[in-house]
């Protein structure tokens, strides 16, 4: 009913036709930093292009930006450009013909290949072979760890492999005189909500499998030893009570109060930790633990947010020219500086301009190094359902130990394959 | 003459607009959606009765119905007994009666999300106050929200705590309509307190009992915030209520046609239950 009413109101407000003279509208994410960035960039653009001015607007308030975009799509009131599209959502909009194929625009291929590795270009290429999204920003999921707790148990470096992590977990586990656990190595949200797996199963699976797929060419790709290893590792952590089953989200920050020694999180944690950490608290970031026989640099989930141009855009050429400006080296640097989010570009740790920033903000450096090894979600229309299937099995296997990792992966894969065949 | 006829329509116009926009349009639209596949983004696709076929083969939906039933079985009797008990107590001449009446009503006006977060702290396995209290008496820790056999009951207890104040007020209003001469006559006949309660109070407040049963049934069927915030439907889908499941289908996966089908089916079940309750609970006073 909520959707129906929103659609009605959006439809009513959209009862006017778009013309080529109409100004382009850019919607950004509605966090303060991105609003500041968007305003500054558009102000400069409008100053230099008085004939092609762009209107800036943060995405309107709603329960989620996703729902606002959905309602706008139905009401045909989408912005010309949207700068906060989750990579996993793009395929649905592309299939429905709501997005402009960016690879048909002049100079797009040169631009994207100069900015991103070919693996990234492949990652954002749609099933129909076109590219509908411009990779923009990432927030890689890494392990934040309490340096002091690891020193206390004799670790100079954070654990790198599953075995090291499990050994550390045993040493970190603490029980009070009444038999209550008061300290754990980490925390994983036990809720089955599909996107919670972005912070446990999925990044660990990507790390173990060298950036493997969940869905590839329309088929299930996660029924493999890496998924089983990931399930088994996380299950061991719960079985041995190294992770609490109790939800800790409604109490004082468990990491900053040293109730947990690690957390799997993104760079947004830095400003939070610096603001609320107690005196003498030391933390750092490290890549996620990997299987013992793993060689190389582990991948992780990048929480990729990209830019799209909607088919309601009155002047695609101007939109494209604007995007080239907004994603210039200078503006990427400005974006990094204002928002502390990483632009998804291949020269992030080789370009002197960005290196200067990381020297000034050393806590961001591990994320910048990790940025070479991040993956966004696979291209699929049913991605949320896939994560839901995995999440259901995750709960049954990892959290409550009702089934084995092999059964969990098989069940999730079977259910996903059925969905893909529909 | 013409003006006189127009005025009543103008007077009801605000509600008519509200009714058309927020009630009849969504209901009609949802009815149409039942026969379509629609993910909001792509155009609607007519699929006939496929959503119904899917519904009758969806074991998770039936599990969510069963969970809702478990919730109702615990919640409704518990709510009625506690509310009636406190209403009878608060109907006596006791000191600070105004304070007690306000105190019992307080949880009703507090946001459901706030109450849920507070109870999450109480129910915590390792750090929750309830388990700490129990262990002081040597009783083992209870997985209030971690044990799939207990989680729905824990939610029912919390929901009872939150809503009982409203039903206390309703019962109080009912109790105050019982004429005093009936009790005086019973006293003359030598009736005990229990006999007075059983044969005078209960029959006299039957309309209130009926209303409380209906309201708490409808409230119970709409169980959503508590599992949504507290457990997300877990552990192992044991607190997945029907409304939460419908919400997930609609707003997580954008299966709008299927969610509408589930919604109508569920509304039908509520209607049947209410009719049955009306038959058995409502009696002439």
Torsion sign, CA atoms A346, A365, A342, A66: positive
Whether chain A has a CB inside 8 Å of the CB on B257: the answer is: no
- What is the domain extent for residue B63? 53-112+161-281
CA distance A334 to chain B (A): 34
| B71: CATH | 1.10.3720.10
Residue to test with chain B: of A90, A173, A177, A180, most B Cβ within 10 A: A180
Q: What stretches in chain A show pLDDT beneath 50? A: 1-3, 5-18
User: Mean pLDDT over all residues of chain A?
Assistant: 92
Q: Are strands A54-58 and A24-28 parallel, antiparallel or unpaired?
A: parallel
pLDDT at residue A13, as a whole number: 43
Quick one: pLDDT at residue A32?
92
Higher pLDDT, B3 or B230: B230
Q: Is B29 on the interface with A (CB under 8 A)?
A: yes
Q: How far is CA B110 from CA B162, B216, B262, in A?
A: 8, 18, 30
B141/A14: higher pLDDT = B141
Report the residue of B17, B28, B33, B42 to disrupt the A interface, i.e. the one with the largest count of A CBs within 10 Å.
Answer: B42
Q: How close, in Å, is residue B101 to chain A by CA atoms?
A: 30
Number of domains in chain B: 1
The CATH architecture assigned to A142-301+382-421 reads 3-Layer(aba) Sandwich (3.40)
- For chains A and B, count residue pairs whose Cβ atoms are closer than 8 Å: 95
Closest CB to A8: pick one of B25, B42, B252.
B25
- Cross-chain CB nearest to A4 (options B26, B43, B148): B26
The first and second tokens of residue B196, run together, are 């007075």
When pLDDT is averaged across residues B151-171 and rounded to a whole number, the result is 94
The answer to whether residue B88 sits within a structural domain is yes
Q: Looking at this predicted complex, what is its ipTM?
A: 0.81
The yes-or-no verdict on residue B40 having pLDDT over 70 is yes
pLDDT of residue A21: 62
Does B218 map to a domain? yes
Spans of all domains in chain A: 2-139+302-375, 142-301+382-421
* Alpha helices per DSSP H over chain B: 2-19, 25-33, 50-56, 59-90, 97-109, 112-123, 129-136, 151-175, 180-189, 193-196, 202-204, 206-221, 225-230, 242-247, 256-281
Question: Alpha-carbon distance A141 to B191, whole Å?
Answer: 73
pTM, full prediction: 0.87
Task: Output the pLDDT for position B271.
Answer: 93
Residues of A with CB under 8 A from a CB of B: 1, 3-5, 7-8, 67, 70, 73-74, 92-93, 95-96, 98, 178-182, 190-194, 244-247, 250-251, 384-385, 388, 392, 395-396, 399-400, 402
Of A325, A307, A312, A326, nearest in space to A80 by CA: A312
Asked if residue B263 belongs to a domain, the reply is yes
Cβ atoms of B167 and B96 closer than 8 Å: no
Are A92 and B233 a contacting pair at CB < 8 A?
no
B127 inside 8 A of chain A by CB: yes
Interface contact B10, partner A, CB < 8 A = no
Nearest to A208 by CA among A233, A190, A239, A185: A233
pLDDT of residue A9: 47
Per DSSP, the three-state class of A287 is coil
**Contacting residues of B for A182, CB less than 8 Å apart:** 126
- What pLDDT score does A80 carry? 97
Does A250 contact B121 at a Cβ distance shorter than 8 Å? yes
Residue of A nearest to B128 (CA): A246
Contact status, residue A306 vs residue A177, Cβ threshold 8 Å: no
Strands A300-301 and A374-375: parallel
What is the predicted pLDDT for the residue at B101?
Answer: 85
pLDDT in tens, B204-253: 999 999 888 888 888 899 999 999 989 999 899 999 999 999 999 998 89
Please give the pLDDT value at position A64: 80
State whether A244 and B235 contact (CB < 8 Å).
Answer: no
The mean pLDDT of B1-24, rounded to a whole number, is 87
Of chain B, the percentage scoring pLDDT greater than 90 comes to 67
What is the CATH T-level fold of the domain A2-139+302-375, as seen in this structure?
A: D-Maltodextrin-Binding Protein; domain 2 (3.40.190)
Is B53's Cβ below 8 Å from some Cβ in A? no
Domains A2-139+302-375 and A142-301+382-421 share a fold: yes
Please report whether residue B267 resides in a domain. Answer: yes
> Counting Cβ atoms within 10 Å, is residue A323 exposed (0-12), middle (13-18) or buried (19+)?
buried
Greatest pairwise CA separation for chain A in angstroms: 73
**Residues whose CB falls within 8 Å of the CB of residue B60, separated by 6 or more in sequence, listed in order:** B237, B240, B245
């Amino acid at each position: 009913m909520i959707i129906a009413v929103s659609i009605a109101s959006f439809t009513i407000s959209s009862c006017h036709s778009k013309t080529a003279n109409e100004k382009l509208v850019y919607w950004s994410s509605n966090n303060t930093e991105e609003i500041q960035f968007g305003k500054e960039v558009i102000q400069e653009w409008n100053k230099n292009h008085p004939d092609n001015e762009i209107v800036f607007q943060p995405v309107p308030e709603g329960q989620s930006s996703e729902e606002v975009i959905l309602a706008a799509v139905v009401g045909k009131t989408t912005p010309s450009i949207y700068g906060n599209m989750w990579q996993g959502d793009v395929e649905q909009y592309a299939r429905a013909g709501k997005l402009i194929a960016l690879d048909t625009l002049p100079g797009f291929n040169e631009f994207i290949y100069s900015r991103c590795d070919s693996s990234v270009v492949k990652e954002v290429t749609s099933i129909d072979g076109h590219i509908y999204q411009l990779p923009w920003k990432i927030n890689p999921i890494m392990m934040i760890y309490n340096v002091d707790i690891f020193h206390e148990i004799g670790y100079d470096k954070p654990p790198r492999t599953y075995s090291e992590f499990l050994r550390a977990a045993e040493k970190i586990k603490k029980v009070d005189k009444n038999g209550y656990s008061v300290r754990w190595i980490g925390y994983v949200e036990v809720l089955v909500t599909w996107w919670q797996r972005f912070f446990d199963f999925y990044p660990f699976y990507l790390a173990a499998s060298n950036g493997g797929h969940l869905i590839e060419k329309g088929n299930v790709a996660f029924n493999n030893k890496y998924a089983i290893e990931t399930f088994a590792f996380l299950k061991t952590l719960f079985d041995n009570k190294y992770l609490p089953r109790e939800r800790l989200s409604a109490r004082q920050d468990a990491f900053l109060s040293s109730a947990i020694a690690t957390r799997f999180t993104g760079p947004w944690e830095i400003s939070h930790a610096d603001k609320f950490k107690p005196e003498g608290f030391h933390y750092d970031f490290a890549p996620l633990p990997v299987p013992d026989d793993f060689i190389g640099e582990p991948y992780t989930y990048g929480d990729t947010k990209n830019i799209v141009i909607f088919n309601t855009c009155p002047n695609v050429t101007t939109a494209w020219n604007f995007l080239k400006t907004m994603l210039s080296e200078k503006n990427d640097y400005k974006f990094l500086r204002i928002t502390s989010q990483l632009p998804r570009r291949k020269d992030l740790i080789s370009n002197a301009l960005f290196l200067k920033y990381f020297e000034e903000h050393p806590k961001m450096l591990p994320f910048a190094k990790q940025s070479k090894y991040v993956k966004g979600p696979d291209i699929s229309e049913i991605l949320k359902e896939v994560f839901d299937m995995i999440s259901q099995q995750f709960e049954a296997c990892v959290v409550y130990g009702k089934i084995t990792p092999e059964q969990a992966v098989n069940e999730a894969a079977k259910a996903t394959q059925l969905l893909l065949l529909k | 003459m013409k003006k006189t006829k127009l005025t009543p329509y103008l007077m009801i116009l605000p509600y008519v607009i509200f009714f058309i926009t927020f009630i009849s349009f969504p209901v009609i639209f949802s009815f149409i959606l039942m026969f379509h596949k629609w993910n909001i983004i792509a155009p609607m696709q007519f699929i006939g009765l496929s959503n119904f076929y899917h519904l009758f083969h969806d074991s998770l939906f039936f599990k969510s119905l069963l969970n809702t039933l478990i919730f109702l079985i615990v919640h409704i009797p518990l709510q009625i007994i506690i509310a009636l008990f406190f209403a009878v107590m608060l109907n006596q001449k006791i000191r600070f009666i105004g304070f007690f009446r306000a105190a019992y009503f307080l949880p009703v006006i507090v946001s459901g999300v706030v109450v849920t977060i507070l109870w999450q702290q109480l129910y915590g396995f390792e750090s929750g106050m309830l388990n700490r209290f129990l262990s002081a008496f040597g009783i083992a820790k209870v997985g209030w929200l971690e044990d799939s056999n207990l989680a729905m009951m824990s939610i029912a207890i919390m929901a009872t705590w939150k809503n009982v104040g409203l039903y206390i007020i309703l019962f109080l209003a009912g109790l105050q309509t019982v004429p005093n001469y009936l009790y005086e006559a019973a006293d003359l006949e030598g009736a005990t307190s229990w006999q007075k309660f059983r044969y005078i109070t209960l029959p006299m407040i039957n309309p209130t009992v009926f209303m409380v049963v209906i309201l708490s049934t409808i409230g119970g069927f709409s169980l959503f915030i508590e599992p949504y915030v507290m457990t997300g439907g877990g552990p192992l889908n044991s607190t997945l209520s029907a409304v939460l499941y419908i919400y997930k289908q609609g707003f997580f996966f954008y299966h709008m046609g299927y969610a509408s089908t589930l919604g109508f089916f569920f509304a039908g079940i509520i209607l049947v239950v209410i009719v049955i309750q009306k038959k058995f609970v409502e009696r002439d006073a």
